[in-house]
A and B are shown apart, each in its own frame.
Chain A
Amino acid sequence: TQLLEQSPQFLSIQEGENLTVYCNSSSVFSSLQWYRQEPGEGPVLLVTVVTGGEVKKLKRLTFQFGDARKDSSLHITAAQPGDTGLYLCAGANPDDMRFGAGTRLTVKP
């Protein structure tokens, strides 16, 4: 059983659509990070959130950290084919770093 559950596991949408992916846990984290990974490469950090209720925006991407610091969401507005990839969340505490299994997003032109 994953400590961090990501949903959906797979998502295929058309260019221009909006989407939200989720990262849920029963554990509290000091910080939560979102990464994007492309085939054959290592993950690349998108954002780090540390405060419960925090919302961060990165162009068309909006990240939210839950008030209780147990869950997070990533919302993409007007998705583009370049957004295609595996989106991973990772929760950190001083004695641990855990990743979710990821959401594999495909954006079709």
Chain B
Amino acid sequence: NAGVTQTPKFQVLKTGQSMTLQCAQDMNHEYMSWYRQDPGMGLRLIHYSVGAGITDQGEVPNGYNVSRSTTEDFPLRLLSAAPSQTSVYFCASSSRGWASGATDTQYFGPGTRLTVL
């Protein structure tokens, strides 16, 4: 099993450009989430999905879109990148998630380091 994979590992964008961060998992997990990690801020939840076709907003959803057409994939889209979106982005998956009251292990990908100039 590859676990949770993220691509690309590094990305530099100019303000206003769009891009999609890819996330895939091969553990047949229902829950998938996107977080951003900034110095001194910890991880903040952007969007999450409790299953294919279902997504919901987290703490900091503005400027980001998600969709979940398959169990395996959960891409994060930046429609018009801004310097404030410079961050390290982590995708995570779990069999069940906090929304169902479960405490299953959340597995994180290796992250994408994004710089917006």
Q: A92-107: which residues lie under 8 A (CB-CB) from chain B? A: 92-102
Main secondary structure of the interface of B (DSSP, over half): mixed
Given contacts A2-B42, A101-B42, are A93 and B98 in contact (CB under 8 A)? yes
Task: Verify if B106 is at the interface (C-beta below 8 Å from A).
Answer: yes
Report whether A96 and B42 are in contact in the complex, using a CB–CB cutoff of 8 Å: no
Partner among A2, A31, A40, A41 whose Cβ is within 8 Å of the Cβ of B103: A31
With an 8 Å Cβ cutoff, the count of chain B residues facing the other chain is 27
Report whether B109 and A96 are in contact in the complex, using a CB–CB cutoff of 8 Å: no
Q: A49-108: which residues lie under 8 A (CB-CB) from chain B? A: 50, 88, 90, 92-102
Report whether A88 and B99 are in contact in the complex, using a CB–CB cutoff of 8 Å: no
With an 8 Å Cβ cutoff, the count of chain A residues facing the other chain is 27
Task: Verify if B44 is at the interface (C-beta below 8 Å from A).
Answer: yes
The chain A residues found within 8 Å of chain B, CB to CB, are 2, 4, 6, 30-31, 33, 40-45, 48, 50, 88, 90, 92-102
The chain B residues found within 8 Å of chain A, CB to CB, are 4, 33, 35, 40-45, 48, 58-59, 90, 92, 97-101, 103, 105-111
Task: Sample 23 A-B pairs with CB under 8 A, ordered by A number.
Answer: A6-B42, A33-B106, A41-B110, A42-B4, A42-B92, A42-B111, A43-B108, A44-B108, A45-B105, A48-B103, A50-B103, A88-B42, A88-B43, A93-B98, A94-B100, A96-B98, A97-B33, A97-B48, A97-B58, A97-B97, A98-B45, A99-B42, A101-B41
